[in-house]
Amino acid sequence: MSQTESPRLTVIGTGYLGATHAICMASLGYDVVGLDVDERKIRKLRSGEVPFFEPGLPELLAKTMDSGRLRFTTSYEEAAEHGDVHFVCVGTPQQPGLDACDLSYVEAAVRGLAPHLTRRCLVVGKSTVPVGTAGRLTGLLHELAPAGQEVELAWNPEFLREGFAVDDTLHPDRLVFGVASEWARARLTAAFQPILDLGTPVVVTDLATAELVKVAANSFLATKISYINAMAEVCEATGADVRDLARALAHDDRIGGRFLQPGLGFGGGCLPKDIRAFAHRAEEIGVGQAVSFLREVDAINRRRRSRTIDLVRELLGGRLDGARVACLGAAFKPDSDDIRDAPALDVARTMHGLGATVRVYDPAALDNARRAYPELRYGTSAMDVARDADVVVLLTEWTEFRQIDPAVLAKAVRHPRIVDGRHALDADAWRSAGWEYRALGRP
Helix (H) or strand (E) holding 249: helix 242-250
169 binds ligand NAD (CB under 6 A): no
128 binds ligand NAD (CB under 6 A): yes
The CB-nearest residue to ligand NAD is 15
Residue nearer to ligand NAD on the CB measure, 104 or 205: 104
Q: In sequence order, what are the residues at sequence separation of 6 or more whose Cβ sits closer than 8 angstroms to the Cβ of residue 379?
A: 326, 359, 360, 361, 385
Q: Which stretch binds ligand NAD (CB under 6 A): 108-116, 180-188, 252-260, 318-326?
A: 108-116
Q: What are phi and psi of 325, to 5 degrees?
A: -115, 130
Q: Which stretch binds ligand NAD (CB under 6 A): 58-66, 103-111, 171-179, 296-304?
A: 103-111
Residue choice 8, 9, 11, 16 for contact with ligand NAD (CB under 6 A):
16
Smallest distance from ligand NAD to CB 112, Å: 5
35 binds ligand NAD (CB under 6 A): yes
Smallest distance from ligand NAD to CB 419, Å: 28
Residue choice 89, 342, 348, 351 for contact with ligand NAD (CB under 6 A):
89
| Closest C-alpha to 142, from 177, 117, 107, 109 | 117
Q: What angle is formed at CA 290 by the lines to CA 94 and CA 204, rounded to 5 degrees?
A: 75
User: What b/e sequence results for 400-436 when a residue is b if at least 16 CB atoms lie within 10 Å of its CB, and e otherwise?
Assistant: bbeebebeebbebbebbbbbbbbbbbebeebeeeebe
Smallest distance from ligand NAD to CB 14, Å: 5
Residue choice 98, 108, 287, 429 for contact with ligand NAD (CB under 6 A):
108
The footprint of ligand NAD on residues 131-160 (CB under 6 A) is 158, 160
Q: Which residues pair with 203 in a beta bridge?
A: 176
Q: How far apart are CA 150 and CA 115, in angstroms?
A: 13
Q: In sequence order, what are the residues at sequence separation of 6 or more whose Cβ sits closer than 8 angstroms to the Cβ of residue 8?
A: 30, 31, 32, 33, 82, 83, 84, 85
Residue nearer to ligand NAD on the CB measure, 265 or 441: 265
Residue choice 10, 27, 64, 92 for contact with ligand NAD (CB under 6 A):
92
Contact map string, positions 238 to 277, toward ligand NAD, x by CB under 6 A:
-------------------------------xx-------
162 binds ligand NAD (CB under 6 A): yes
> For the CA atoms of the chain, what is the radius of gyration?
23
170 binds ligand NAD (CB under 6 A): no
User: What b/e sequence results for 326-341 when a residue is b if at least 16 CB atoms lie within 10 Å of its CB, and e otherwise?
Assistant: bbbbbbbbbbbbbbbb
User: What b/e sequence results for 71-99 when a residue is b if at least 16 CB atoms lie within 10 Å of its CB, and e otherwise?
Assistant: bbbeebeebbebbbbbbbbbbbebeeeeb
Q: Which of 89, 235, 270, 327 is catalytic?
A: 270
Q: How far apart are CA 93 and CA 104, in angstroms?
A: 9
Return the beta strands (E) in 50-131 as ranges: 70-73, 85-88, 121-125
Q: Which residues pair with 32 in a beta bridge?
A: 9, 70
Residue choice 127, 223, 357, 396 for contact with ligand NAD (CB under 6 A):
127
Number of residues that bind ligand NAD (CB under 6 A): 27
335 binds ligand NAD (CB under 6 A): no
Residue choice 7, 10, 11, 18 for contact with ligand NAD (CB under 6 A):
18
Identify whether 101 is a catalytic site residue.
no
- With H, G, I as helix, E, B as strand and everything else as coil, classify residue 263: coil
Decide: residue 237, CB within 10 A, 0-12 exposed, 13-18 middle, 19+ buried.
Answer: exposed
Residue nearer to ligand NAD on the CB measure, 108 or 287: 108
Residue choice 56, 95, 102, 105 for contact with ligand NAD (CB under 6 A):
105
Contact 140, 133 (CB under 8 A): no
Smallest distance from ligand NAD to CB 173, Å: 13
13 binds ligand NAD (CB under 6 A): yes
Residue choice 6, 37, 75, 249 for contact with ligand NAD (CB under 6 A):
37
What positions carry a catalytic annotation?
Answer: 270
Residues of this chain that bind ligand NAD (CB under 6 A):
12-18, 35-38, 41, 89-92, 105, 108-109, 112, 127-128, 158, 160, 162, 269-270
